[in-house]
Every structure is written in structure tokens, then in C-alpha cells.
């Protein structure tokens, strides 16, 4: 969903163009205070802010920016921008955000993969050391063997898992 913040008479025309170009539902707020209200109650992919409102209502602009959350802010001057430019700016911002999300997922999955590998190594080493304990009861040894087998299975699963492919799959590509 996209939030279009403008008092322009062209608001509905801009909203229709953005909806058609992005396939996203577009909500129009005629003021920055109304936009802040919308932002408190919904999550938006992008917030398109008319430069005129930002310049004439600086205090409300600050409040609006505090409530953006994960939405990307797109500043446009609707007094001089045509529909093509508006659509191009918003589409470009959304595409940049999508690339940023994919990079963040790749980083998070890579870090998690690394942490899991470290934990698996520690579990494997601990179970193998425990199995060398003198006088270990047979029941305990069987359980430790089962743990070691599970840890080895987990290690193989981690080795065959490609973090980059996981990100692509999560991103729906």
C-alpha cells in the first residue's frame, strides 16, 4: 500500500497513476497530520510526500517522519512534476527498497548459517569428547551416539543448504 500525501487537486489523478503503475493500493492524505494518523494505523510500502507540504508544515513533517516505520519516503514536487516523473520516482524508490530487503535477508541468513555451523561444531565436538569418557554407562553412550548422529545429520543439511538460494526463495523469485 502507498500513502500519497498532498493537498493538490491532482491527488486522485496521481493516486490512479501510481495504482496502475505499481499495482499497489494508494491512500491519499490531504495533510501531514492526516498522514501521521494513517501511518500510526497501517503499514505502507512507500509514502509519497508533496514537497509543498513539507516546506509549509515543518513541525507536522517531523511528526510524519517519526511514524514512517519501514515505509520508504519519496519526496516529489507535484506542482512541477508530471505523472510520468511521479511514477518513475516511486517505482525507482520501491525497486531500491526491494533490493535493499534482499541484501538484508542475505546478510541475516548468512549470519544465521554461520552461527548454526559454529553451534553444530561445538555440539559435535562435545558429544565426541563425552563418548571418550572412561566408564561411561552403556545407556548414556547410546544416547550420546544418537545425539552425535543427529548433529552430523544437521551438519550435512547445513552444508547442502545454499543461503543465497534461500534468500531468492524467500523473496519469491
On whether residue 93 sits in a domain, the answer given is: no
For residue range 25-39, list pLDDT tens digits in order.
999 999 999 999 999
Specify the pLDDT at position 171: 56
pTM of structure: 0.68
CB 83 within 8 A of CB 14: yes
Q: How many domains does the chain have?
A: 2
How open is the CA angle 26-32-38, to the nearest 5 degrees?
50
On whether residue 135 sits in a domain, the answer given is: yes
- Identify which of 50, 46, 108 has the alpha carbon closest to the alpha carbon of residue 77: 50
CB 2 within 8 A of CB 46: yes
110 shares its domain with 52 = no
- Identify which of 61, 48, 166, 149 has the alpha carbon closest to the alpha carbon of residue 113: 166
76 shares its domain with 129 = no
Specify the pLDDT at position 81: 87
Bridge partners, 5 (sequence order) = 29, 49
Expressed as residue numbers, the domain containing 40 is 2-81
15 shares its domain with 76 = yes
On whether residue 99 sits in a domain, the answer given is: no
Selected residue with higher pLDDT from 166 and 162:
162
CB 44 within 8 A of CB 71: yes
Specify the pLDDT at position 164: 58
For residue range 50-97, list pLDDT tens digits in order.
999 999 988 899 999 999 998 999 999 998 889 999 999 999 999 999
Query: Over the Cα atoms of the chain, what is R_g?
Result: 26
Amino acid at each position: 500500500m502507498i500513502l500519497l500525501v498532498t493537498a493538490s487537486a491532482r491527488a486522485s489523478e496521481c493516486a490512479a497513476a501510481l495504482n496502475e503503475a505499481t499495482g499497489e493500493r494508494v491512500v491519499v492524505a490531504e495533510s501531514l497530520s492526516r498522514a501521521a494518523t494513517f501511518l500510526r494505523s497501517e503499514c505502507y510500502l512507500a509514502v509519497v510526500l508533496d514537497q509543498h507540504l513539507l516546506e509549509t508544515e515543518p513541525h507536522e513533517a517531523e511528526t510524519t517522519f517519526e511514524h514512517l516505520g519501514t515505509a520508504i519516503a519519496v519526496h516529489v514536487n507535484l506542482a512541477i512534476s508530471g505523472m510520468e516523473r511521479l511514477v518513475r520516482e516511486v517505482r525507482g524508490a520501491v525497486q531500491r527498497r526491494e533490493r535493499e530487503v534482499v541484501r538484508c535477508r542475505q546478510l541475516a541468513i548468512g549470519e544465521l548459517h554461520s552461527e548454526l555451523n559454529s553451534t553444530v561444531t561445538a555440539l559435535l565436538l562435545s558429544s565426541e569428547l563425552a563418548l571418550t569418557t572412561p566408564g561411561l554407562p552403556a545407556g548414556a553412550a547410546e544416547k550420546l551416539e544418537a545425539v552425535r548422529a543427529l548433529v552430523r545429520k544437521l551438519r550435512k543439511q547445513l552444508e547442502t543448504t545454499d543461503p543465497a538460494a534461500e534468500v531468492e526463495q524467500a523473496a519469491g523469485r
